Amino acid sequence: MLDLNFIRKNPEAVRTAVREKHERVDIDQLVKLDADRRELIYQSEVLRKQLNEGSKRISQLKKQGQDASNLVEEMRALSDKIKDLEKRLEQLTPEIDALLLRIPNIPAPDVPKGEDASANVTVRNWGKRREFNFQPKPHWELGTNLDILDLERGAKICGSGFPLFKGVGARLERALFNFMLDLHTQKHGYKEVFPPFLVNRASMTGTGQLPKMEEDMYKVTEDDLFLVPTAEVPVTNLHRDEILNYKELPIYYTAYTACFRREAGAYGKDTRGIIRVHQFDKVELVKFVRPETSYEELEKLVKDAEAVLQLLGLEYRVLKLCTGDMSFASSKTYDLEAWAPGVDKWLEVSSCSNFEDFQARRINVRFRDESASGGKVRYVHTLNGSGVALPRTLIAILENYQQEDGSVIIPEVLRPYMGGLEVVQR
* Residue where one domain finishes, among candidates 41, 70, 100: 100
In a domain, 346, yes or no: yes
Q: Categorize the per-residue pLDDT at 192 as very low, low, confident or very high, splitting at 50, 70 and 90.
A: very high
**Same domain, yes or no: 140 and 78:** no
**Which percentage of the chain shows pLDDT scores above 90?**
92
* Residue where one domain finishes, among candidates 45, 68, 100: 100
Question: Is residue 270 predicted with pLDDT exceeding 80?
Answer: no
Upper half-sphere CA count for residue 134 (Cβ side, 13 Å): 11
Q: H-helix or E-strand containing 258?
A: strand 251-260
Question: Is residue 265 predicted with pLDDT exceeding 50?
Answer: no
**C-alpha angle 198/199/202, rounded to 5°?**
170
Spatial distance between the Cα atoms of 73 and 63, rounded to a whole number of angstroms = 18
**Same domain, yes or no: 304 and 412:** yes
Q: H-helix or E-strand containing 339?
A: strand 332-340
**Same domain, yes or no: 121 and 270:** yes
**Same domain, yes or no: 52 and 184:** no
**Same domain, yes or no: 155 and 75:** no
* Residue where one domain finishes, among candidates 49, 67, 100: 100
Entry pTM: 0.93
Spatial distance between the Cα atoms of 92 and 286, rounded to a whole number of angstroms = 35
Question: Is residue 266 predicted with pLDDT exceeding 60?
Answer: no
Sign of CA dihedral 1, 319, 285, 371: negative
pLDDT by residue (tens digit) across 130-155? 999 999 999 999 999 999 999 999 99
Determine if the peptide bond prior to 388 is cis (ω within 30°): yes
Domain limits at 10? 4-100
Least confident of 59-73, 99-113, 381-395, 400-414: 59-73
CATH of the domain at 165: 3.30.930.10
pLDDT by residue (tens digit) across 36-87? 999 999 999 999 999 999 999 899 988 998 888 899 999 999 999 999 999 9
pLDDT by residue (tens digit) across 283-333? 999 999 999 999 999 999 999 999 999 999 999 999 999 999 999 999 999
In a domain, 106, yes or no: no
**Same domain, yes or no: 66 and 194:** no
**Same domain, yes or no: 64 and 167:** no
Spatial distance between the Cα atoms of 423 and 325, rounded to a whole number of angstroms = 39
Spatial distance between the Cα atoms of 55 and 59, rounded to a whole number of angstroms = 6
**Same domain, yes or no: 283 and 188:** yes
In a domain, 240, yes or no: yes
C-alpha pair distances (Å), 47 with each of 33, 38, 201: 21, 14, 38
Q: Which amino acid is at 95?
A: E
**Same domain, yes or no: 85 and 160:** no
Q: Which residues are catalytic?
A: 261, 276, 348, 351, 392
**Same domain, yes or no: 169 and 298:** yes
Give the count of domains, the chain.
2
Spatial distance between the Cα atoms of 203 and 226, rounded to a whole number of angstroms = 9
CATH of the domain at 91: 1.10.287.40
